């Protein structure tokens, strides 16, 4: 190694490639989902407790804010799952090249957008 070369390890000053973006958003979506699971558990609770709480829940889920929260959690789940599956595929040694990584990242983003929009249509 030529140790006279300048070294920059400050990630804040770098332009992130698409693979880095899918990586950090996979992480962010994972943390978000951990909190989001409380919402899903709450919904499952209300949906199974009694016919009355089921009806109340249904009523509550007609409000735009409730729909938005649910959509956000579902969107996180869709993105995190697709990026997770990409991880599994790469663990099998598929698509580990530079081009493969970029293609994988593009596929994850593209598929996520489509599925998240569809989920939004379904919720509304």
Partner 1 sequence: MVRAVTSFGRSGLSDWLVQRVSGVILLAYFLFIGCNLIGGVDYIAWKALFAQTWVRVFSLMALLSLAAHAWIGIWAVLTDYLTERLMGTKGNVLRVALQLLVIVTIFVYVVWGVQILWGY
- Summarize as ranges the residues that interact with ligand HEM (CB under 6 A): 26-27, 30-31, 33-34, 37, 80-81, 84-85, 87-88
Q: How many whole angstroms separate alpha carbon 110 and alpha carbon 68? A: 21
Instruction: Mark residue 57 as left, alpha or beta (left: phi above 0; alpha: psi -120 to 50; beta: remaining).
Output: alpha
Q: Report if residue 54 touches partner 1, rule: CB under 8 A.
A: yes
- Closest contact distance (angstroms) between CB of 99 and partner 1 is 24
Q: Report if residue 114 touches partner 1, rule: CB under 8 A.
A: no
SS3 letters across 45-72: HHHHHCHHHHHHHHHHCCCHHHHHHHHH
* Candidates 9-17, 47-55, 63-71, 101-109; binding stretch for partner 1 (CB under 8 A): 47-55
The smaller minimum CB distance to partner 1, of residues 49 and 106, is found at 49
């Amino acid at each position: 190694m030529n140790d006279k070369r300048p070294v920059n390890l400050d990630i804040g000053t770098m332009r992130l490639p698409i693979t880095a973006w899918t990586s950090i958003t996979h992480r962010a979506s994972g943390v978000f989902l951990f909190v989001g699971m409380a919402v899903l558990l709450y919904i499952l609770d209300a949906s199974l407790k009694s016919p009355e709480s089921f009806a109340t829940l249904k009523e509550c889920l007609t409000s735009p804010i409730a729909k938005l929260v649910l959509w956000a959690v579902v969107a996180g789940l869709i993105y995190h799952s697709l990026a997770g599956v990409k991880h599994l595929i790469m663990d099998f040694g598929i698509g580990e090249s530079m081009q493969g990584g970029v293609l994988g990242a593009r596929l994850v983003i593209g598929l996520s957008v489509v599925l998240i929009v569809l989920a939004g249509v379904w919720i509304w």
